[in-house]
Structure formats: structure tokens, C-alpha cells
């Protein structure tokens, strides 16, 4: 029998228990930094060194972090379901936990690309420095989707969410579009779950089960609830 397609939209909250800061919680990243100074094309033009410093530090933090029970639980669900992760996160904790289908909507911290050609992408484990240039001579920048930039993978994500048979949201404030709009593409009748320490506001979603818990506990509860679907 074909496995049911289980689509999971994740945000910073799933990696919080791995020690990575979220953006909008108290003590979140955007409390310590001005978004406009580090995560916009304008910031990159105005002060590229500051932008590189910000993301070089993020890369170190991610390298030091480990997947937690929530990432691992979602990876283990592949035994029973055709799991597709759509993540807003730039970390690689889903991959390291063993998830095989991960779509990164907002880019990846361990990749960099030419400033003048977004197709020229390369792996980066250490720091990106000013003067590091791609084959086309363009300065390397983080392979991250900044505010005010288009989200190239959104169509692919919509395609995946439309075909979901079970839809799960974990650890996102659902305020950043177009990612937040993905919840509206899940077929109305399918079972839906939302896991978050503080459930964010959503307009009414049919057939929704709310699990107000930290991600590690919430994913464990979800797995219990899904047993009836096995």
C-alpha cells in the first residue's frame, strides 16, 4: 500500500531546543539585530561586512547544534509515511536527523552564491569573506532569501502542500509571507496539526488539532496520535 503523504511546514521553533534562537520570541534574533541592517538587499549594499559577520556567526551556531527529538521524530515518520518537509529554516538539522525530502524555502546557511548569478551556488562550512569571489567574479553572499527578495521555491512548496494527505505545522509564528500562506493550500478535508509552544494566530482551519507544547514533546504527541493512521 502506498504510504500517505505527510507534509510538514517547519519554522525556527523546531530548532529552538537545539539551542538555535528563533527570530521573534523574546531574546529572539530580531531583538538583538535590526532586520534592515542584516537581512535585506539594501543592507548587503550598504554594509556587506556586517551582513557576512551576521551569517558567519549563524553558520558557527548551526555547526555546533545537534538535531533534537522533534527533528528525529519527523525523520522516523518516514518508516510509515511519505514525509515531505518544507522548512523556513536555514539550518541543516532536518537533514542531519535523517529526513530525506527537505525543501528550504529561505535558503541554506551552508551554501553561498555569486552576488551576480544566483545559479552559481557552492558549499561553505567556514566563513565567507569580502573578496571571496565566484567563477563569474561576483562576490559570494550567503545563499539566503532576504526580506524583499522573491522566494524561488514557493511554487514547488505549494505543489507539495496541495497534494498532502496529512499536514503538520511546527514552530513558526506564521507571520512571514509567502511561507505563512502555505497553510491555505492544504486540502480542506485532510487532518491538520499545529505544534507550537505558543500557538500562533491563524484564521479558521478546518479539521485542525492543536498541540500546544515545545516541539520535542509536541512531535512525540503527534506520533502517538498518528498511530491510528498506520
Query: By the criterion CB under 6 A, which residues form the site for ligand APR?
Result: 11-13, 16-17, 22-25, 28, 88, 106, 171-173, 175-176, 196-198, 200, 214-215
User: Minimum distance from CB of 171 to ligand APR (Å)?
Assistant: 4
Using the minimum distance from each CB to ligand APR, give the nearer residue, 99 or 172: 172
Q: What is the DSSP string of 57-72?
A: HHHHHHHH----HHHH
Which residue number places its CB atom closest to ligand APR?
13
d(CA 111, CA 113): 7
User: Minimum distance from CB of 188 to ligand APR (Å)?
Assistant: 23
- Which contacts (CB < 8 Å, 24+ apart) does range 92-97 have? 92/62, 93/14, 93/15, 93/18, 93/20, 93/62, 93/65, 93/66, 93/67, 93/68, 94/10, 94/67, 96/66, 96/67, 96/71, 97/67, 97/71, 97/72
Using the minimum distance from each CB to ligand APR, give the nearer residue, 175 or 225: 175
Q: Of 84, 106, 143, 198, which one is the catalytic site residue?
A: 106
**Residue 106 is among the residues annotated as catalytic for this protein:** yes
CA atoms within 13 A on the CB side of 197: 16
Residue matched to cell numbers 515518520: 77
Using the minimum distance from each CB to ligand APR, give the nearer residue, 33 or 185: 33
Task: Give the cell for residue 70.
Answer: 522533534
Using the minimum distance from each CB to ligand APR, give the nearer residue, 55 or 134: 55
Q: Which residues are catalytic?
A: 106
Amino acid at each position: 500500500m502506498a504510504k500517505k503523504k505527510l507534509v510538514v511546514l517547519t519554522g525556527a521553533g523546531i530548532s529552538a531546543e537545539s539551542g538555535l534562537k528563533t527570530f521573534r520570541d523574546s531574546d529572539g534574533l530580531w531583538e538583538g539585530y535590526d532586520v534592515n541592517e542584516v537581512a535585506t538587499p539594501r543592507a548587503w549594499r550598504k554594509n556587506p561586512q556586517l551582513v557576512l559577520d551576521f551569517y558567519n556567526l549563524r553558520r558557527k551556531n548551526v555547526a555546533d547544534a545537534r538535531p533534537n527529538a522533534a527533528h528525529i521524530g519527523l525523520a522516523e515518520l518516514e518508516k510509515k509515511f511519505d514525509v515531505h518537509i518544507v522548512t523556513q529554516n536555514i539550518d541543516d538539522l532536518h537533514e542531519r536527523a535523517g529526513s530525506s525530502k527537505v525543501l528550504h524555502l529561505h535558503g541554506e546557511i551552508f551554501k553561498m552564491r555569486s552576488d551576480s548569478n544566483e545559479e552559481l551556488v557552492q558549499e561553505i562550512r567556514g566563513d565567507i569573506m569580502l573578496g571571496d569571489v565566484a567563477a563569474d567574479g561576483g562576490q559570494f553572499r550567503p545563499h539566503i532569501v532576504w526580506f524583499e527578495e522573491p522566494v524561488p521555491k514557493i511554487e514547488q512548496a505549494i505543489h507539495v502542500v496541495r497534494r498532502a494527505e496529512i499536514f503538520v505545522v511546527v514552530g513558526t509564528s506564521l507571520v512571514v509571507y509567502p511561507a505563512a500562506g502555505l497553510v491555505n493550500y492544504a486540502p480542506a478535508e485532510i487532518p491538520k496539526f499545529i505544534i507550537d509552544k505558543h500557538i500562533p494566530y491563524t484564521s479558521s482551519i478546518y479539521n485542525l488539532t492543536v498541540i500546544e507544547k515545545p516541539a520535542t514533546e509536541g512531535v512525540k504527541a503527534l506520533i502517538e496520535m498518528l498511530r491510528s493512521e498506520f
